[in-house]
Structure 1
Amino acid sequence: MKYNMKSFLLIGAVLGMANACNKATTPTTSITGSDSAGYQINGQLTNAPAGSKVYLSELGTTQFIARDTATLDDKGHFSFKGTAPEAGLYQVKLTDANQVLVALDNKSSLELSGDATSLGTNYTVKGSKDSELLQQLSRTMQQSKGEMQKLEQRYTQAASSNRPDSMKVIEKQFFAAQARNAAAVKQLVRQNPNSVVSAFAVGNLLNPDEQFVFADSMATQFKKTLPDSRYTKELTARLDPLRSTALGVVAPEIKLAAPDGKEVALSSLRGKYVLIDFWASWCGPCRQENPNVVKAYNKFKGKGFEIYSVSFDQDRAKWLKAIEKDGLTWTHVSDLKGWESAAGQTYSVKSIPQSVLLDPQGRIIAKNLRGEALDDKLASLLGGKPL
């Protein structure tokens, strides 16, 4: 289950990404200064020995950039003072396991306090609405992450005990928890439409593909209120390639070779509900999901449902062997270019398994339906079963 849930990786974006990025940080010249215009952080940490180092880093496009270093005094006090190129997110860190994110601009004056042994969960920040919003988001994500980790453990136990019915129940609970987390993030963003933290959250704590309508509406707002923010620009850059595959649009054409060498066009299946399934023989989660797809296909293929599988394989023999072994008796195509697949590029596929459901007119009506979710959706469309 954990490998199929792409958004689970996003749950730890506020803290997990920070820890990973730190390993690639390249120190730069400190921007500490005494300018009248600038930010200031006054901090006090408990349970940290005097002389401990505290590091301030700016969140760049792909990593954190070291900006300043402070030293704790015998009362746990420290301070940073400097100028920010623009309003953005910064990391205050003792160690990778003990750090927080704050928002800074050249008018920020923050009071930060916390427990140095569990800083990520035991801290308070005052003096900045943006930093307070960031703390709210962090708490939301931490709570959701904890819930999902427990569900993941239960799922693993059910799988090892061969209890498929329990696995299905837990999977639904996981998706429900995922939906609650996304709703909580969206509510905070709606309440703070003029914050750079909101612009960051939409692009990094939500999946812009699955939340395209919301993300696009917020991007329109950010372009008006935060036109020069890096987070507005990054969000816009992420959304632009997704417009051609957003819900409601006619799916872009795919025309690739089938196993017999003849090209098959996606549009040749018009008139039916079609699942475009991106997968590969070497993809473990894809192979684990295949029995669910086979079940759905066998149940609905006589009612106007078809599957158009696009493989990211490079080895023709392994591709064909997987089709036969998994009993995938529907339309298959591939250009055998792996991640450079032309169809994958067109649909901005960054991970697999991934799927897109089309209506008989070729319009995209759903994405990434897995397990019971696919069966329920098809039943609502073709079998009269309400969602």
Structure 2
Amino acid sequence: MASMFLLMSLHILAQTKTFTLKGKLTNVKDGSKIWFYAYHPALQKDSAIITNGTFEFKGNLTGPIQAQLFLPHGPKFKVMLPLTGAYDFLNLYLDEGVIKVNGTDSVKNMLVSGSIINAEDQKLSKTLNVLENKILTIRSEFKQAPVEQQKDPAFMSASDNKIIKLWKEIEAAKLKFAKENPDSYVSLNAVFELTRGRTMNYHVLDTAYQSLSDRYKNTVLAKNTKQMILTGINTTVGSQAVDFSQPDVNGKIYKLSDFKGKYVMLEFWASWCGPCRAESPNLVKAYEKYKDKNFTIMAISLDKKRDEWLNAVKEDKIPYLQLGDLKGPQVSEVAISYGIQSIPESYIIDPNGKIIAKNLRGEALNKKLTELFN
């Protein structure tokens, strides 16, 4: 049974192309519903009924987009999009032409054919999957260790360092693929993912982006990637911190530039962020220890609910300046200007307004503050 829908780019007047996604699942009960989610530029979803082991989706697009197929097993299901974890789903790209997916009883094990872009994606994924599985193994071994061993700082540090090393290998693999395949949309997406990770040097990412061919440079993904790289460069260590204004809990407006001449820690957080709340005691101690030594903390809340924000401030006994416009992380102008993709995220800014450190937490933060003030 076919299912039809329209996937339009933000560039409405751009020439549209037609795609067809043909699927075959030989051991799935006829009448089962399979879901389709497309994520670019905005979420589109549809479903089809599997008939005689086959299903089909058709639509229009103006360029490659990422999508997922999802087969729910059981009458009830609740999903968080994009799909991750143990759901029976398949990631793939859509582009002009006919794409075929074939399998037996599982969507996640379906094979994709008839698509150059998906062949390129599978090539990169083959390398990444090896590294990602190693990370899963390390995490599993950590959880299986005795509770006392899990609490041992040396054991935790060793586990974390192994994972960090593997993430760096994943980043290097994506960068290598992009350099070796400059004409691929998968390469553009790999650079985009690296910009979102916010751990790599943005000048290196800018070079990687510039080395890609112009084939996809007019896409929404390319424009988002370019903007995020620019934001990353503007908020990297050594850059002048972007000025902004935000209201405090009483509506009084403060600017970052109001504190020029001081060392400022800029902390992005929210009441619903567990890691943020876990770090609060350390920030409170740091503030109390150095507040009389030309140091202050400006906390930018990304909450949308005032009561939840203020209750968290009260519960955590936070004494330093609290700012927030209650617009949430996707709309907050200051979060956008700093390219915030996840929280907590922090910056230490010197008296001249220059960023001198980023994302220092726990002992790393204490060490940096000791260097500055002792």
| TM-score normalised by length of structure 1 | 0.64
Separation of aligned partners in 2, 1:43 and 1:282: 40
- Corresponding residue for 1:22? none
**TM-aligned CA distance change 1:87 to 1:267, over 3 Å:** closer
Gaps of 5+ in 1: 1-26, 32-36
Whether 1:333 aligns to 2:333 is no
| Deviation, structure 1 residue 283 | 4.2
Separation of aligned partners in 2, 1:269 and 1:30: 51
Report the secondary structure of 1:201's partner residue: helix
Report the secondary structure of 2:361's partner residue: coil
Separation of aligned partners in 1, 2:321 and 2:213: 40
Q: Which of 225, 228, 232 does residue 222 from structure 2 map onto?
A: 232
| Deviation, structure 1 residue 131 | 0.6
Separation of aligned partners in 1, 2:56 and 2:324: 56
- Corresponding residue for 1:213? 203
Whichever residue aligns with residue 195 of structure 1, its letter is: S
Q: How does 1:227-376 map to 2 (within 5 A)?
A: 227-239=217-229, 244-253=234-243, 266-267=256-257, 274-280=264-270, 283-293=273-283, 306-312=295-301, 314=306, 318=311, 321-322=314-315, 325=317, 332-335=320-323, 337-339=325-327, 343-344=334-335, 346-349=337-340, 351-359=342-350, 361-374=352-365
Separation of aligned partners in 2, 1:191 and 1:115: 34
Separation of aligned partners in 2, 1:281 and 1:377: 26
**TM-aligned CA distance change 1:104 to 1:191, over 3 Å:** same
| Deviation, structure 1 residue 250 | 0.1
**TM-aligned CA distance change 1:178 to 1:358, over 3 Å:** farther
Whichever residue aligns with residue 130 of structure 1, its letter is: I
| Deviation, structure 1 residue 84 | 4.7
Gaps of 5+ in 2: 8-16, 73-82
| Deviation, structure 1 residue 30 | 7.7
| Deviation, structure 1 residue 239 | 4.7
Percent same amino acid among aligned pairs?
A: 28
| Deviation, structure 1 residue 47 | 4.1
Report the secondary structure of 1:251's partner residue: coil
Whichever residue aligns with residue 357 of structure 1, its letter is: I
Q: State the Cα RMSD in Å.
A: 4.9
Instruction: Give CA deviations for 1:253-283 in whole Å, capped at 9, x if unaligned.
Output: 3566889999876457667765322235664
**TM-aligned CA distance change 1:373 to 1:134, over 3 Å:** farther
Whether 1:87 aligns to 2:76 is no
**TM-aligned CA distance change 1:174 to 1:338, over 3 Å:** farther
On the 8 A contact 1:275/1:308 being kept in 2, the answer is yes
- Corresponding residue for 1:63? 43
| TM-score normalised by length of structure 2 | 0.65
Separation of aligned partners in 2, 1:215 and 1:361: 27
Separation of aligned partners in 2, 1:319 and 1:90: 37
Instruction: Give CA deviations for 1:57-79 in whole Å, capped at 9, x if unaligned.
Output: 64432324438776445xxx777
Separation of aligned partners in 2, 1:317 and 1:52: 48
Separation of aligned partners in 2, 1:103 and 1:207: 19
Aligned length: 340
Q: Which of 128, 147, 161 does residue 172 from structure 1 map onto?
A: 161
Separation of aligned partners in 2, 1:276 and 1:145: 32
Separation of aligned partners in 2, 1:349 and 1:267: 20
